[in-house]
Amino acid sequence: MTPVERFRELLAIPTVSHVDVTRTDTARFEEFRAALERLYPLVHAHLEREVVAGHSLLYRWRGRSTGEPLLLLAHQDVVDTAGQPWTRDPFAAGIEGEGAEATLYARGAIDDKGALVAIFEAVEEALSEGLVPRADVWLAFGHDEETLGTGAHAMAALLAERGVRPALVLDEGGAVVDGAVPGVAAPTAMIGVAERGTATFDIVAREAGGHASTPPALPATARLARAIDRLRRRPFPRRLVPPVRAMLATAAAHAPAPVRTAFRRTELTAPALTAAFALLGPETNALVRTTAVVTRLEGSAGDNVLATVARATVNVRLLTGDTVSDAAIHVRRAVADPHIDIELRHGGDPSPVSPWQGAAWRRLATAVGETLGDDVVPLPYLQLGASDSRFYTGLTDNVYRFAPFHLTRAERDALHAPDERIRVDVWLRGIRFYRALLAS
């Protein structure tokens, strides 16, 4: 079988995770594990493997020395496709187009089986060539990154208990993109040196209820709608945090003169830059402020019944330096209604910031230049979403978030959305990145 054929077979297994674990079909994860064993025989003959927390997979490839190891992360699970208007079967893993435009459509093509399978391909190839890594290589593949992260949490705790201190941890995150930084024309490898924290709040309005034919002046649903609109109209303040300042300072050398000056003098230009970033689009806005958005609404169970409880779920992503407590205060002040309850369901503060200089950073940057193009500029940046890497920050200062795929704007927009896809040539090039990293 070819690498692409193996990739398609693994994409066809619907390893969907759910917050309600009773809805997760665990047999699919067992099927996925069995397929990995069959498709990558050298990996499973030479590496030690443990199954952790039920379905997460932890591998150890022993190196020539006792130096600090390399730890590569990815996750097996994918988000549900129910209710999404896919134009193809999300688990058929079909390929459309030819040559450089050949594109593989499947849930998980990028997030995150693209990285997981590329890592397996790189290790299998290295083993076939007789490579023995300089130091140990650990592979950790969680099973519920999209929901609770219990698998990654358990594997990180196990490595900490064993005293494993990696030289470098690499998880999914940024990609190679065009136009990510305003004014920079060169393609950039966006390497996350930190990630935002997450918090889930419920905004809750309560009332006595009754028949919908005799509603009160301000029913719970209307009070809730007013609270949601108030939160929308009072966004979190804008500011430049250290990872974003580092991104701009690094990008300055590749920007035209006026932009270069603005990026280098952020102590003076921060107000103008943050205002511009907030207006340029959702991604740049999220780089300069904590964001909050309502993702779910609940009300009455009947069409003609007043809601006794009306609830909105708010997903908050915390900028470096903000905390869950800060977010709770902001939400309460924005809503400004003593009859609304603000309830924290769960949350975690932003990650520590990893260095964008030093041996670990150079190792990543060298692999980027050798395999993804010498015109690609490695940039430190703030990872906007959460990943399993947050559980590993206690093992080392050098935790990074980057998937070695050159993605278009449309491809990035398809993450967690209909018609997720990756170009075949782009995915194959990513294998070379991991292969170079293993040999470094």
Q: What is the DSSP letter of 238?
A: P
For residues 8 and 101, state if they share a domain. yes
Residue with tokens 């299998």: 124
Residue with tokens 């594990």: 33
For residues 216 and 303, state if they share a domain. yes
As given in the structure block, the two tokens for residue 108 are: 């998980």
What's the pLDDT score for residue 183? 87
Domain boundary among 292, 315, 348: 348
For residues 269 and 380, state if they share a domain. no
* Helical packing angle, 424-439 and 3-11, nearest 10°: 110
SS3 assignment, position 401: strand
What's the pLDDT score for residue 53? 97
As given in the structure block, the two tokens for residue 45 are: 């003959």
Contacts for 289 with CB less than 8 Å, ≥ 6 apart: 235, 236, 237, 238, 239, 274, 278, 319
Interatomic CA distance for residues 426 and 110, integer angstroms: 11
* Closest among 25, 28, 24, 40 to 431, alpha carbons compared: 40
For residues 147 and 214, state if they share a domain. no
SS3 assignment, position 343: strand
Find the CATH number of the domain harbouring 212: 3.30.70.360
**How far from 363 is each of 316, 370, 376, 434, CA to CA, in Å?**
33, 11, 15, 11
What's the pLDDT score for residue 375? 93
What's the pLDDT score for residue 60? 98
* Type of residue numbered 399: V
What's the pLDDT score for residue 391? 96
SS3 assignment, position 363: helix
As given in the structure block, the two tokens for residue 287 are: 């780089």
What's the pLDDT score for residue 182? 85
Are 19 and 295 a contacting pair, CB within 8 Å?
no
Domain boundary among 288, 322, 348: 348
What's the pLDDT score for residue 323? 97
Are 148 and 19 a contacting pair, CB within 8 Å?
yes
What's the pLDDT score for residue 386? 87
As given in the structure block, the two tokens for residue 343 are: 């309830």
Find the CATH number of the domain harbouring 374: 3.40.630.10
Interatomic CA distance for residues 234 and 224, integer angstroms: 16
Helices (H), ranges, 104-219 = 113-128, 150-161
Domain boundary among 305, 321, 348: 348
What's the pLDDT score for residue 179? 87
Structural domains in the chain (count) = 2
- The phi and psi torsions of 47 (rounded to 5 degrees) equal -100, 145
For residues 315 and 337, state if they share a domain. yes
As given in the structure block, the two tokens for residue 78 are: 């994918």
The two most distant CA atoms of the chain are separated, in Å, by 78
Q: What is the DSSP letter of 309?
A: E
What's the pLDDT score for residue 155? 98
Q: To 5 degrees, how large is the angle CA 99–CA 100–CA 102?
A: 70
For residues 239 and 361, state if they share a domain. no
Residues with pLDDT less than 70, the chain? none
Structural domain range at position 53: 3-195+351-439
Q: What is the DSSP letter of 97?
A: S
* Closest among 430, 348, 400 to 193, alpha carbons compared: 400
For residues 314 and 366, state if they share a domain. no
For residues 286 and 355, state if they share a domain. no
* Helical packing angle, 113-128 and 3-11, nearest 10°: 140
For residues 74 and 206, state if they share a domain. no
For residues 257 and 288, state if they share a domain. yes
For residues 104 and 177, state if they share a domain. yes
* Closest among 127, 140, 108, 202 to 392, alpha carbons compared: 140
For residues 203 and 313, state if they share a domain. yes
